[in-house]
Structure 1
Amino acid sequence: MKKLHPASIAVRSLSRSLNTGFVFFVIGVVVSPGSNGMNLLSVFGLVTIGIVMGIVYEFAYYQRFHYELTADTFDVTSGVISRRDRELPLGRVQNVDIRQNVVERLLGIAAVHIETAGGGETEVSLRYVDEDEARRLRRQLRRGASADAADEGGDADALETGLEGTPTARETTAAAEEEVLFEIQPRELAVLSIFTIDPGASVLGGIALSFASGLDPTTLVPVDRMEALPGPASGVLALVWGLLLFALAAWVLSAALTVSRYYGFRLTRTDDELYYERGLLQRYSGTIPLEKVQALTISESIPYRWFGYAALSVETAGYAPGQSGARGTESAIPLADADRVGALARAIEPFGPVDLESPPRRSRERYAVRYLLVVAVVVGLAYLIARYAPFVRRWYLVAALAVIAPIAAHLKWTNRGFRVGERYFLTRTGFWRRTTKVVPHYRVQAVLHESTIFQRRRGLASVTADTASSASFFGRAATAYDVDAMRGLELQTEIEERLQERLRVRKQQRTSSRGRWDASTTVDDEAVDDGEL
């Protein structure tokens, strides 16, 4: 049985003692005697007791926390007041993430978070262990090094040596075979930070900076002219200036957060796993198990697409990109040249060329009608505003948006498509954020054929291939939108047949290799047979 790093007592005690100290401070203010309702000496004594209790609790937590990596399981015993024993089968381990902030990096410790299959929450957290120990646990938990050593004839002494920190022969070989797939370049990081807007922190920071700036919009306009402006115009000027200042502050803070989040982004591959590492102040690293990949998503957002950039996300069973900002599977490549992204995506899943079948032309007419209806609603709202706000004139100019509706409909139609290959189902949708999803047939959980009342009027339908990752709340399934209704039924049947075919092939491969799937052999042989490389 092993214990946490001794420095974890100090790091954990800092936050724990602050919390307990604050609670006892509040209690002291409420109940302490004195003419003013508060005795500083008694309050200080209570706060001291709270801080000491926090430190004592964390020391007890350290003493009673043990973990052990066996041949088949990862066992954790924890709890100060109530004891909790957990036994994680190594086969259920999904992702192992390592996180470090600035203080933890200075102390040489790290937090290890272990996710299991199907879990949206962390199953086990080790806060904190030595950096080398964290990397060792990540390797052995995800690769099953102890079980492999036992299967390959390693004796108990050799297994124990591997568990106690001395690298096994397999670990040494794996480290030597690590292949660097991607390292973010300064230019790519700059483009990413310029065009990325953080929806949460940037808003709060923008509000704080706007109020703290103390700038007065009236300073931009001479006083005599400001007084000459009517009341509504003066208010509009102040509002516009505030919005501009807010947007500037939000953009600056968001860019800084993006640089801090993706600084030093590095992606490597060892056998059947991808390893990521990123972060400036808060350092993250973890694994993306290739054998658990459910789908790939290539994103080409505007304006990144104008500069020839794209992003790659890898979805694994249990959760999908975007579910948590701290998880490595959120993005295999945050931003890179589109050709580099395509090459890496094909290295993970050799899906071949992206020759997509477009939806029927009548779907484009449907989009145009929908957008024209939206324009009609906007024109109606402008008319109502003009009736009750006399200073709003020429409201009818909003009707010019009707010219854009056919263009928008055409762009939406041209950016949608699908293809059913021998091994993969590909879909594409979106203009502002065009996404291409690649789903292996054997990963499909269900195939849905849906047709809304508006689609039925045009003889259209949508076909969706659900996976284990798209079943989560944040996941997005691969969907072929607005295909011909009869073609949709054919598509549904074809995907289901491909699914059964791929499952039979994989079962035969596992049987012939005595239960072991050689990923590299499978990719090469199948790709040649299917003609997709």
Structure 2
Amino acid sequence: MSSEPGATALAPEAEAPWKTLSPRAPLAALFPVLGLVLRPMLGALLPTFFMRDGGFPAFIWAIILLFAGSSVAALLYEVATTRYRVVGAQLEIRSGVFTKTSRFIEAARVQNTEVVQPFVSKLLGLVELKVETASGQKAEGHLRGLTPGDAQALIDALHMARGNKAQALAPVGTPGEADGEVLANTRLVDLLRYGATATGLGVLAVVMGALNELMELFHDWALPWMQAHWKGLARPGMGWVSAVLVVLAGLLVLWLVNVVLAVLRFHGFRLVDTGTHFRALGGLFTSRQITVRHERIQQVVLDEPLLRRWFGFGSVEVETAGVRAGREAAERAELVVPVVPTSRMEALVDRLIPGLPAALGTLSLRPAHPKSLLRARIRAVGVSVLVATPATFLLWPWGVLAWALLPLQLVGAWFDWRFQGWLITDTLVVVRQGFWRRRTTVLQRARIQAVNAVQGPLERGYGIGHVRVAVAGSDVVLPSVSWDEAGRLIDALPAPRRTRQPPPGVRNPPGPSEGGAPSAADAEPAAASEPSLGLYSRLPE
């Protein structure tokens, strides 16, 4: 008799129909698949342009083209035969031609979903759906070529599989009509300011490479034209004016590239709170729609470079356990609010991660250890010497100017040390780093995966160290503290519990009678008796 309910419950799951992608899905996936196949081949084919006698023989080219064509055809056929369905509380995706794969994704493990609509898919009326978990550096479930209706139905099915049957999410593909409270929106003038103040090293490298390629054009065409029309530049000693004009032109190109990239990525951006999810919508040619559950947010980062602070705004990055590949922190974030006025940052952070005891601007953060300033100065001197010494010999006499880097590095080290701070409350960890590019991380203690105390060679000599707090996909480093305090912190995080063995070289923390950190048995009554003073108030100085 006990097996009858089980059989009845499994019947609907066994009969769940498979769903296929749109018939236009292979056409929408053509350009991404071509890029996936031809990109690794490009590195191998480039040397052929420098080979004599036309490079590879014709039969080698035939083999390469046959391999590329068959790979593209196989990947497109795989897209065309992909099937999916929601069975119980799982999303099942089947795909493959020669090697068939079946992926099962628990609805409860889904960190966030992202709806992407590239330009070609927009012309075809299709979207891509990415389902992200904490299992790797890319989306665990990636379905290309869905209609907006099918994507919406799948998102709602995953939402209902988690037990939230009473609420459906706003429709996908309609960024201007998302239901919920609008927490942030971005105007075109905001994106112009955001792009103009960007300091991405990747963009700078691209621009410098482009300028390097244009130098021959400048010398062959632009410089003679300038000398012919502006007689003053042709006079002896006026070559520095041309150099200044080239630098200004490069800065203008860098500004234009940053502005264009900002507009392409965040045009029409809106952050909407649907009640159970945060939904970010935006993009010009490629529309993106990211949905993050409230309870999946593990940390929020406030990015405030000095130039943007002067203009009164910054950016907010939201991270979940969905691990993403990317060198820059903003590339790893699942959700980025590009422009947030400084006066509204605290309110937005409180909506994303509640629990701050006060506004971020009034928090009494604990400073970095005083001895860490000496360590930072030694590092600054070392970097300056390594740069200035070869510059002096290679670029004499102008290379002597490189020694001006030394006082600048020392001043920068002091500012960096002066504005570091950290705080631990009952539910959050707050870490502030940097002055020129200030980044404030607000991390939920419940999401902490591991805590490590690290002590480098210089730190060992000064009796200090730093604590690294790891969460799924990233980590946060607290400013330097004494090595004894580092041992107490790894026992206090992620939550008060029984004291473990301290790291080597750290003495056992004193008991409550000696003025030290309380044990787990003592911490529970203390937490119940005192109001939300935070764990920081119970840690010894």
Q: Same fold (TM over 0.5)?
A: yes
Q: Describe the superposition over 1:185-229 as per-residue Cα deviations: whole angstroms up to 9, x where unpaired.
A: 333212111112454466446645775665433544469988885
- Displacement of 1:289: 2.5
Residue 309, structure 1, aligned to residue 313, structure 2: yes
Q: What is residue 72 of structure 1 aligned with on the other side?
A: 89
Q: 1:490 to 1:105 in 2, by over 3 A?
A: same
The separation in 2 between residues aligned to 1:147 and 1:458, in whole angstroms, is 51
Deviations 1:76-113 (A, max 9, x none): 22234443333322223222211112232232210112
**2:356 paired with 1:366:** no
Q: Would the alpha carbon gap of residues 176 and 322 (structure 1) be closer, same or farther in structure 2, given more than 3 Å must change?
A: closer
Q: Distance in 2 between matches of 1:439 and 1:16?
A: 38
Residue 163 of structure 2 is aligned to residue 148 of structure 1: yes
Deviation for aligned residue 1:279: 0.8
TM-superposed CA distance for 1:256, in Å, is 0.6
Shift of 1:323: 5.6
Q: How many angstroms does 1:240 deviate by?
A: 6.5
Counterpart residue identity of residue 491, structure 2: T
* 8 A contact 1:202–1:253 mirrored in 2: no
Instruction: Tell me what 2:259 maps to.
Output: 255
TM-score, normalising length: structure 2: 0.71
Distance, in Å, in 2 between the alignment partners of 1:177 and 1:15 is 31
- SS for the counterpart of 2:20 is coil
Equivalent runs, 1:36-435 vs 2, <5 Å: 61=78, 64-141=81-158, 143=159, 145-146=160-161, 148=163, 170-171=167-168, 178-200=180-202, 203-204=205-206, 207-208=209-210, 211=213, 215-221=221-227, 244-319=248-323, 322=326, 329-349=333-353, 350-353=355-358, 354-377=363-386, 380-381=389-390, 383-385=392-394, 389=396, 392=398, 395=400, 403-404=407-408, 406-435=410-439
CA-CA distance at 1:291 after TM superposition: 2.0
* Equivalence for 2:174: none
- Check 1:121–1:322 CA distance in 2 against 1; reply closer, same or farther (3 A cut): closer
Output the CA distance in 2 between the equivalents of 1:80 and 1:328: 32
* 1:128 Cα offset (Å): 0.4
Q: Are the equivalent residues in 2 in contact too, given 1:287–1:328 (CA < 8 A)?
A: no
Equivalent pair of 1:464/1:478 in contact (CA under 8 Å): yes
After TM superposition, give the deviation of residue 120 of structure 1 in Å: 0.9
Q: Give the 3 Å change call, closer, same or farther, for CA 362–148 of structure 1 in structure 2.
A: closer
Aligned amino acid, residue 190 of structure 1: L
For 1:352, give the aligned amino acid: P
Question: Where do 5+ consecutive residues of structure 2 fail to align?
Answer: 1-17, 46-56, 172-176, 500-527, 535-541
Query: Would the alpha carbon gap of residues 406 and 124 (structure 1) be closer, same or farther in structure 2, given more than 3 Å must change?
Result: closer
Paired position in structure 1 for 2:482: 484
**Deviations along 1:353-396, whole A, 9 cap, x unmatched?**
3320112333334333443444455554454346xx4x548x3x
Q: Distance in 1 between matches of 2:416 and 2:119?
A: 45
Range that drifts further, 220-229 or 73-82:
220-229
Distance 2:204 2:380 in 1: 31
Give the equivalent residue in structure 1 for 2:537: none
| CA distance in structure 1 between the partners assigned to 2:307 and 2:387 by the alignment | 27
Q: C-alpha separation between the residues in 1 aligned to 2:328 and 2:382?
A: 37
CA distance in 2, matches of 1:173, 1:237: 57
Taking a change above 3 Å as real, the CA distance of residues 434 and 2 of structure 1, as seen in their structure-2 partners, is same
| Partner Cα distance (1:95, 1:289) in 2 | 7
Tell me the SS of whatever aligns to 1:364.
helix
| Structure 1: runs of 5 or more not aligned | 27-36, 150-167, 471-476, 502-525
Q: For residues 189 and 173 of structure 1, what CA distance do their matches in structure 2 show?
A: 26
The alignment partner of 2:19 has SS state of coil
In structure 2, the residue corresponding to 1:216 is in which secondary structure? Answer: helix
SS in 1 for 2:93: strand
1:500 and 1:260 map into 2 onto residues whose CA distance is 51
Kept in 2, the 8 Å contact 1:181–1:344? The answer is yes
Structure 1 pair 440–182 and aligned structure 2 pair: CA distance change class (3 A):
same
1:494 aligned partner: 492
- Over aligned residue pairs, what C-alpha RMSD do you find? 4.3
C-alpha deviation, 1:451, in angstroms: 1.8
Q: Secondary structure at the match of 1:171?
A: coil
Cα distance in 2 for residues equivalent to 1:201 and 1:481: 30
Q: Does 1:458 align with 2:458?
A: no
Identity %: 23
Partner Cα separation in structure 1 for residue 382 and residue 32 of structure 2: 55
- Matched residue SS, 1:434: strand
Q: Look up the equivalent residue of 1:127 and give its one-letter code.
A: R
Q: Secondary structure at the match of 2:493?
A: helix
Q: TM-score, normalised by structure 1?
A: 0.72
Against the structure 1 CA distance between its residues 485 and 87, is the aligned structure 2 distance closer, same or farther, given a 3 Å change threshold?
Answer: closer
